[in-house]
Amino acid sequence: MLSPHNKTMLKDATFGEFELIEYQSIDRRFPIVNFFLDLWRDKGGETKSVTRADINPMEMKKYLEHIVLMDIVHDGDSWNLMVRLIGSHVTAYYGEITGKDIRDMGNTKAIERIYYAARHIMETERPMLTILPAYSTDKSYMEAVALYAPLFDNDKNVAKILVAVNVSAFGTG
């Protein structure tokens, strides 16, 4: 359940600990979040008219290495997340999984978190932000910031999810 500020800290054995921030409460402290949130809005996201065709990689050249583009693939009553594009910044932490389901990456807590976020995006049809501790063998006090933004099909259904990910020293997202 979300708090009155539309933020919640989720902590359980499946997901690990992370903060989920609803669309209307996303703060503007992360430059990458600002960029992609503004892009989503400018392309018509609030009217459910932003599609994959509206996303021009040249417009986001500065952040291409931080992008993950996932297709939502329906199979009867279930669905999967197929990675169509994953930037080098993201692969450094999660591995190269282009053309594969998110479930093919090794980090099971991250898999469950991503599926949880995707389900939330499909239900709300609005961007959301997650912030969580990140771990690396050579650095400590890191955090991962991920803005999930829905992309729609011609029937205004969520068909894809664009994710902007930044893993950085704590507080510098």
Position 10 scores a pLDDT of 43
pLDDT reading at 61 higher than 50: yes
Domain count along the chain: 1
Q: Which residue range is the domain that position 49 belongs to?
A: 12-169
Q: What is the pLDDT of residue 140?
A: 54
- In the chain, the DSSP E strands lie at 7-12, 16-22, 67-75, 78-86, 128-134, 142-152, 158-169
Considering the domain boundaries, does residue 69 fall inside one? Answer: yes
Confidence of residue 136 (pLDDT cuts 50, 70, 90): low
**Cα–Cα distance for residue pair 66/77, rounded to 1 Å:** 31
Whether 45 and 36 have beta carbons less than 8 Å apart is answered as no
Contact 165, 68 (CB under 8 A): yes
Give tens-digit pLDDT for 2-23.
Answer: 333 444 444 333 345 778 899 9
Q: Is the pLDDT of residue 169 over 80?
A: no
Determine, yes or no, domain membership for 116: yes
Domain CATH for 43: 3.30.450.20
For 53, phi then psi, to 5°, come to -65, -25
Q: What angle do CA 86, 91, 96 make, to 5 degrees?
A: 75
Q: Is the residue at 134 inside a domain?
A: yes
Asked if the model's pLDDT at residue 158 lies above 80, the reply is yes
Question: pTM of whole model > 0.75?
Answer: yes
* pLDDT value of residue 144: 87
Q: Per this entry, what is the length of the chain?
A: 173
